[in-house]
Chain A
Amino acid sequence: MIHAVLIFNTHGKPRLSKFFTPLPPLVQQSLISQIFSLISDRPAGVCNFLDAPDLKFPTPGSTTSTSTSINEKGKDKQLQTQIHNNEDDDTRVIYRHYATLYFVFVVDGAESELGILDLIQVFVESLDRSFENVCELDLIFHFDEVHHVLSEIIQGGLVLETNINEISACVQAATRNRKASAASSNPLIPSVLAVPAGRGGSRGGSADGARKWLAAIGV
Chain B
Amino acid sequence: MFERTLQDLIRGLRAHKASSKAQEDAFIAEAMVEIRQEMKGKDMALKAEGVLKICYLMMLYPIPAPPEFAFHVVEVMSSPRYHLKQIGYLAAPMAFSGDTEEVVLTVNGIKKDLLSPHVALPSIPLTALPHLLSLSPSLSITLHSDLLHLLTHSSPRIRKRSILCLLHCWEAFPGGLKEGFPKLREKLKDQDQGVIGATIGVVMELAKRQGGKNYLPLAPELFGILTSSSNNWMLIKVVKLFAILTPLEPRLVRKLLPPITSLISSTSAISLLYECVRTCIVGGMLDPDRAEGEALARVCVEKLGGYLRDEGGDQNLRYIALLAMVKIIPTHPSMVAEYQDEIMESLDDPDVSIRMRALELVTSMVDRDNLQTIADQLLSHLAPSETNTSDLPSAVASLTAIANQLSPTAAKDPTITSTSVSLSPAYRLLLTQKLLSIISYDTYVNVTDFEWVISVLIDLAYVSHVNVGEEIKRLILDVVGRVKSVREYAVGVLEKVLGDEDFRERGRDGTGEDGLTEAAIWVCGEYSSYLSSPLSAISSLLSPTLHLSSSSLISLSLHSAAKIFGRYAASVSTTWSSDGHAESKALVATVKSGLEPFLSTGNIEVQERAFEFTQLLNFVQADLTNHIPPKKNISTSVPDDIPEMDSGFAESSKPNNDNPPYPKSLFLFEPLFSSYELNAVAYKAQDAVRIPDGLELDRDIVPGGGFGELSEDDESEEEKPTIDLGEGGGEGMEELRRVLREQEKKGKRREGETKEERAKRRAARKAKHKDDPYYLYDKNDKDENEEDIDEIPIVRLDDSELAIQEPSTSKTKFKSKSTKIKTKKAKVPPPEFDRTGELPEGSTASSVRQSTKKGELEKTSSGLSAIDLTSSTPSSNRGSSARFEEYKVDDDDLPPRSNAIENITSNGIHTNRQNDDLPVTSITGEIEVVKVKRKKKADSKKKKEKPIES
A215 and B316 contact, CB distance less than 8 A: no
Q: Could you say which residues of chain B place their CB within 8 Å of the CB of A178?
A: 82-83, 86
In this assembly, does A62 line the interface, its C-beta being within 8 Å of a C-beta of chain B? no
Rounded to whole Å, the gap between the CB of B14 and the closest CB of chain A is 8
In this assembly, does B592 line the interface, its C-beta being within 8 Å of a C-beta of chain A? no
A47 and B315 contact, CB distance less than 8 A: yes
A205 and B62 contact, CB distance less than 8 A: no
A215 and B160 contact, CB distance less than 8 A: no
Rounded to whole Å, the gap between the CB of A214 and the closest CB of chain B is 7
Q: Could you say which residues of chain B place their CB within 8 Å of the CB of A208?
A: 154
In this assembly, does B589 line the interface, its C-beta being within 8 Å of a C-beta of chain A? no
Residue among A29, A41, A159, A187 making CB contact with B197, cutoff 8 Å = A159
A177 and B120 contact, CB distance less than 8 A: yes
Rounded to whole Å, the gap between the CB of B703 and the closest CB of chain A is 29
Q: Could you say which residues of chain A place their CB within 8 Å of the CB of B157?
A: 170
- A 108-125 to B, binary, CB cutoff 8 A, 1 in contact else 0: 011011110111000000
A215 to B154, CA, bound (A): 7
With A17-B59, A156-B167 as known contacts, state yes or no: A46 contacts B315, CB within 8 Å.
yes
In this assembly, does B685 line the interface, its C-beta being within 8 Å of a C-beta of chain A? no
A66 to B270, CA, bound (A): 38
In this assembly, does B118 line the interface, its C-beta being within 8 Å of a C-beta of chain A? yes
In this assembly, does B320 line the interface, its C-beta being within 8 Å of a C-beta of chain A? yes
A182 and B233 contact, CB distance less than 8 A: no
B233 and A162 contact, CB distance less than 8 A: yes
A110 to B204, CA, bound (A): 7
With A46-B315, A159-B233 as known contacts, state yes or no: A195 contacts B120, CB within 8 Å.
yes
A90 to B316, CA, bound (A): 17
In this assembly, does A160 line the interface, its C-beta being within 8 Å of a C-beta of chain B? yes
Residue among A16, A114, A219 making CB contact with B316, cutoff 8 Å = A114
Q: Could you say which residues of chain B place their CB within 8 Å of the CB of A166?
A: 194
Rounded to whole Å, the gap between the CB of B353 and the closest CB of chain A is 4
B315 and A215 contact, CB distance less than 8 A: no
With A47-B318, A109-B208, A195-B119 as known contacts, state yes or no: A14 contacts B240, CB within 8 Å.
no
A109 to B82, CA, bound (A): 37
Cβ-closest chain A residue relative to B231 = A162
A115 and B351 contact, CB distance less than 8 A: no
Q: Could you say which residues of chain B place their CB within 8 Å of the CB of A219?
A: 117
Q: Could you say which residues of chain A place their CB within 8 Å of the CB of B58?
A: 25
A159 to B427, CA, bound (A): 34
In this assembly, does B793 line the interface, its C-beta being within 8 Å of a C-beta of chain A? no
In this assembly, does B723 line the interface, its C-beta being within 8 Å of a C-beta of chain A? no
In this assembly, does B476 line the interface, its C-beta being within 8 Å of a C-beta of chain A? no
A43 and B350 contact, CB distance less than 8 A: yes
Cβ-closest chain B residue relative to A74 = B62
- A 13-41 to B, binary, CB cutoff 8 A, 1 in contact else 0: 11011011010111001000000000011
Residue among B60, B205, B323 making CB contact with A13, cutoff 8 Å = B60
- A 159-192 to B, binary, CB cutoff 8 A, 1 in contact else 0: 1111100100010011001111110000110110
Residue among B130, B233, B314 making CB contact with A20, cutoff 8 Å = B130
B319 and A47 contact, CB distance less than 8 A: yes
With A22-B134, A49-B316, A51-B352 as known contacts, state yes or no: A29 contacts B154, CB within 8 Å.
no
In this assembly, does A101 line the interface, its C-beta being within 8 Å of a C-beta of chain B? no
A156 and B236 contact, CB distance less than 8 A: no
A44 and B412 contact, CB distance less than 8 A: yes
- B 305-345 to A, binary, CB cutoff 8 A, 1 in contact else 0: 00000000011101110010000000000000000000000
Residue among A52, A161, A207 making CB contact with B160, cutoff 8 Å = A161
A45 to B408, CA, bound (A): 10
With A43-B404, A155-B127, A205-B191 as known contacts, state yes or no: A144 contacts B52, CB within 8 Å.
yes
In this assembly, does A89 line the interface, its C-beta being within 8 Å of a C-beta of chain B? no
B154 and A46 contact, CB distance less than 8 A: no
In this assembly, does A128 line the interface, its C-beta being within 8 Å of a C-beta of chain B? no
Residue among B121, B191, B397 making CB contact with A204, cutoff 8 Å = B191
In this assembly, does B539 line the interface, its C-beta being within 8 Å of a C-beta of chain A? no
A193 and B120 contact, CB distance less than 8 A: yes
Q: Could you say which residues of chain B place their CB within 8 Å of the CB of A77?
A: none
Q: Could you say which residues of chain B place their CB within 8 Å of the CB of A143?
A: 55-56, 59
Q: Could you say which residues of chain A place their CB within 8 Å of the CB of B913?
A: none
Residue among B98, B198, B315, B352 making CB contact with A52, cutoff 8 Å = B352
B118 and A24 contact, CB distance less than 8 A: no
Taking CB atoms and an 8 Å cut-off, the chain B residues in 151-178 that contact chain A are: 154-157, 160-161, 164-165, 167-168
Rounded to whole Å, the gap between the CB of A133 and the closest CB of chain B is 19
Q: Could you say which residues of chain A place their CB within 8 Å of the CB of B202?
A: 158
In this assembly, does B430 line the interface, its C-beta being within 8 Å of a C-beta of chain A? yes
- B 92-118 to A, binary, CB cutoff 8 A, 1 in contact else 0: 011001100000000000000000111
Q: Which of B121, B157, B240 has its CB near the most chain A CB atoms (within 10 A)?
A: B157
Rounded to whole Å, the gap between the CB of A150 and the closest CB of chain B is 10
- B 130-152 to A, binary, CB cutoff 8 A, 1 in contact else 0: 11001100000000000000000
Q: Could you say which residues of chain B place their CB within 8 Å of the CB of A151?
A: 90, 127
B412 and A43 contact, CB distance less than 8 A: yes
Q: Could you say which residues of chain A place their CB within 8 Å of the CB of B350?
A: 43, 46
Q: Could you say which residues of chain A place their CB within 8 Å of the CB of B97?
A: 22, 24
Cβ-closest chain A residue relative to B352 = A52
Q: Could you say which residues of chain A place their CB within 8 Å of the CB of B165?
A: 155-156
With A22-B131, A51-B353 as known contacts, state yes or no: A181 contacts B82, CB within 8 Å.
yes
A48 and B193 contact, CB distance less than 8 A: no
Rounded to whole Å, the gap between the CB of A7 and the closest CB of chain B is 10
Taking CB atoms and an 8 Å cut-off, the chain B residues in 274-303 that contact chain A are: 274-275
Q: Could you say which residues of chain B place their CB within 8 Å of the CB of A119?
A: 233
Rounded to whole Å, the gap between the CB of B211 and the closest CB of chain A is 13
Cβ-closest chain B residue relative to A19 = B93
B193 and A43 contact, CB distance less than 8 A: no
Q: Could you say which residues of chain B place their CB within 8 Å of the CB of A148?
A: 86, 90
Cβ-closest chain B residue relative to A116 = B271
Residue among A10, A16, A53, A211 making CB contact with B405, cutoff 8 Å = A10
- B 401-435 to A, binary, CB cutoff 8 A, 1 in contact else 0: 10011001100100001000000101101100000
Taking CB atoms and an 8 Å cut-off, the chain B residues in 183-200 that contact chain A are: 190-194, 197-198
A46 and B198 contact, CB distance less than 8 A: no
Cβ-closest chain B residue relative to A50 = B353
Q: Could you say which residues of chain A place their CB within 8 Å of the CB of B426?
A: 52-54
Q: Could you say which residues of chain A place their CB within 8 Å of the CB of B231?
A: 162
Residue among A41, A54, A155, A216 making CB contact with B130, cutoff 8 Å = A155
Rounded to whole Å, the gap between the CB of B228 and the closest CB of chain A is 11
Cβ-closest chain A residue relative to B207 = A110
B198 and A158 contact, CB distance less than 8 A: yes
A162 to B201, CA, bound (A): 12
Q: Could you say which residues of chain B place their CB within 8 Å of the CB of A214?
A: 154
In this assembly, does B468 line the interface, its C-beta being within 8 Å of a C-beta of chain A? no
With A46-B351, A54-B426 as known contacts, state yes or no: A156 contacts B83, CB within 8 Å.
no
In this assembly, does B637 line the interface, its C-beta being within 8 Å of a C-beta of chain A? no
Q: Could you say which residues of chain A place their CB within 8 Å of the CB of B59?
A: 14, 16-17, 143
Beyond known contacts A114-B320, A177-B82: 20 more, CB 8 A cutoff: A10-B405, A22-B93, A22-B98, A40-B401, A41-B404, A44-B409, A45-B315, A46-B354, A51-B357, A53-B426, A115-B275, A144-B90, A151-B90, A155-B126, A158-B198, A162-B231, A181-B81, A181-B84, A187-B80, A190-B82
B interface with A by C-beta (< 8 Å) = 6-7, 10, 14, 52, 55-56, 58-60, 62, 64-65, 79-84, 86-87, 90, 93-94, 97-98, 116-121, 126-127, 129-131, 134-135, 154-157, 160-161, 164-165, 167-168, 190-194, 197-198, 201-202, 204-205, 208, 231-233, 236-237, 240, 270-271, 274-275, 314-316, 318-320, 323, 350-354, 356-357, 397, 400-401, 404-405, 408-409, 412, 417, 424, 426-427, 429-430
A interface with B by C-beta (< 8 Å) = 1, 10, 13-14, 16-17, 19-20, 22, 24-26, 29, 40-54, 109-110, 112-115, 117-119, 140-141, 143-144, 147-148, 151, 155-163, 166, 170, 173-174, 177-182, 187-188, 190-191, 193-195, 203-205, 207-208, 211-212, 214-216, 218-219
* Closest A-B pairs by Cβ, 7 of them: A156-B130, A114-B271, A205-B191, A181-B82, A46-B351, A47-B315, A51-B353
